[in-house]
Amino acid sequence: MRAEDILPDHQNEVLVGGIVARKGSVAAFLANARVLADPSASAPARAQAERDAREVLPALHALGLFEVMTVRDPAVRAWVEAQQ
């Protein structure tokens, strides 16, 4: 399966189990997870990363991301698990 089989270039979102998953959801989560994993990240940067990551978590769960992948950073993994 290729990315365009799931979400064609002309389409920006897909409905999965009643949850909208936007194109870029996984990449956005990864960018925010990097901030959360960075011990030198400022408090405002961490707070924004938490808000943005929390917003995309329902889509990632609907896509089944965490059923096949584990967050390796223990602190980020604990944060994700605490959001459920």
> What is d(CA 60, CA 69) in angstroms, rounded to the nearest whole number?
11
What would the mean pLDDT of 35-47 be, rounded to a whole number? Answer: 98
Joined together, the tokens standing for residue 36 give 């959360």
Can you tell me whether residue 21 is helix, strand or coil?
A: strand
DSSP of 25-65, one letter per residue? HHHHHHHHHHHHH-TT--HHHHHHHHHHHHHHHHHHHHHTH
Task: Indicate if the pLDDT at residue 84 is higher than 90.
Answer: no
Confidence class for position 45, pLDDT limits 50, 70, 90:
very high
The pLDDT of residue 6: 86
Which pLDDT score is estimated for 5?
Answer: 87
Contact, 12 vs 22, CB < 8 A?
yes
Q: What is residue 15's three-state secondary structure? A: strand
Predicted model pTM: 0.90
Q: What is the mean pLDDT of the chain?
A: 95
